[in-house]
Amino acid sequence: MKSTRKTARRKGDSTFKGITFAAALAIPLLMAGILVELIRNSRLSLAEFGLGFLTSNVWNPVSGQFGALSSVFGTAMSTAIAMVIAVPLGLVIALFLVELASPRVSAFFGTAIELLAAIPSIIYGMWGLFIFAPFMANYVQPLFQKTLGFLPLFQGPPLGIGILTAGIILAFMILPYISSVTRDVFGMVPVVVKEAAYGIGATNWEVTRGVTLPYSLRGIVGAGFLGLGRALGETMAVTFVIGNNHHISASLFASGNSIASTLANEFTEASEPLYLSSLVELGLVLFLITVIFQAAAQGWLWSIRKKLAT
C-alpha cells in the first residue's frame, strides 16, 4: 500500500516535471522557429539579391529592385542619436536618484521615469507627430540652424519630422531602461567604500568620479547595450515621426526610414512575392542585429554578476 502511494507520488512528480520542462523548451524552440521562418520566407530575396541587399539603396517595388541600405542607415542613425542623448542623461538621473535625492524624492522620480517605459510606443508616436515634431520645427531646429547651421548635419528645411526627431523620441523611450539599470549598479557599490571616500573629505562628485563610476563602468555598458537593443527595434514611435522615405541624407533634419518603420508601412501593401520576401529579409536583418546586441548585453551583465559574486 505504502509503496504504491510512493510510486504514484513519483509519477505525479515526474509528469509535472516533464510538463514544465516541455514548457521551458518551448522558448528556445520559438526562437529557432522565428529564425527558420524568417530565412525560409526571405529565400526569394536572398537568392535574387544576395549580399548586395545590404549595400544597395534602391527600393523600387515597381521595378522589383530592393536594397536595405537606407533602412539600415536610418535605424543606425536614429539609434545613435538616441544613445548619445539617453546614456549621459540616464547617468545623471541615476546619480541624482542614488547620491543626491532623499529616499522619498528618489522613489518619486524613480517611479515617474520608469513609467516612461510603460507608455506604449504608439502614444509616443501620437505625441511625437502632433506635439513634439511641431515643437522641433518651431523652436529646436531653427536654433540648431542659427548656431550650427554651417554643418551639413543641420541643413535643409526644418520640417519637424525626420531622423533627429525620431532619435530624440527614442532617447526618451530607452531612458528608463538605462537609468534604472544604472541606478541598480550604482546601488551595488559597497557603501563602506563610498563612506570611506566621504570620510577623507571627498565631495559627491569626487565620490562618483573616483569610486562609483569605476566600480559600475561595466554595468553601465551593459545598461547601454540593453537600451541600444530596445532602440533598434522600436517601431511605432519611429514610424510616426521619421518621415518614411528611402533616401539617405547627410542632414539630420531630413526624413528617412528605419527597418522597423519600413516593415510597418509596407508589409500589408506588398503584393508581389519578391517584395514581401525582401521585407521579410529586412526583418531577418533586424532580428539578427537585435539578437546579437541582446546576447552581448546578457553575456556582459552575466559576467559582471559572476565577478561581483566571487
Give the CA distances from residue 41 to residues 28, 106, 271, 272, 275, in Å, rounded to whole numbers and listed in that order.
20, 49, 14, 13, 11
Which residues, including other chains, have CB under 8 Å from residue 292's CB and lie 6 or more apart?
none
Pick one of 1, 62, 118, 191: the residue that binds other proteins (CB under 8 A): 118
- Per-residue contact string for residues 78-107; x = within reach of other proteins by CB under 8 A: -----------x--xx-xxx--xx------
Give the separation between CA 151 and CA 144, rounded to whole angstroms. Answer: 10
Residues 15-34 that bind other proteins (CB under 8 A): 15-17, 19-28, 30-31, 33-34
Region of 76-84, 151-159, 216-224, 228-236 interacting with other proteins (CB under 8 A) = 228-236
Pick one of 205, 217, 303, 308: the residue that binds other proteins (CB under 8 A): 205
Q: How far is the CB of 3 from other proteins (least distance, A)?
A: 14
Region of 145-153, 155-163, 194-202, 247-255 interacting with other proteins (CB under 8 A) = 194-202
Pick one of 174, 211, 254, 304: the residue that binds other proteins (CB under 8 A): 211
Q: How far is the CB of 205 from other proteins (least distance, A)?
A: 4
Any idea how long the chain is?
310
Q: Could you tell me if residue 50 is left (phi over 0), alpha (psi between -120 and 50 degrees) or otherwise beta?
A: left
Site for other proteins contains 188 (CB under 8 A)? no
- Per-residue contact string for residues 274-303; x = within reach of other proteins by CB under 8 A: -----xx--x--xx--xx-xxx-xx---x-
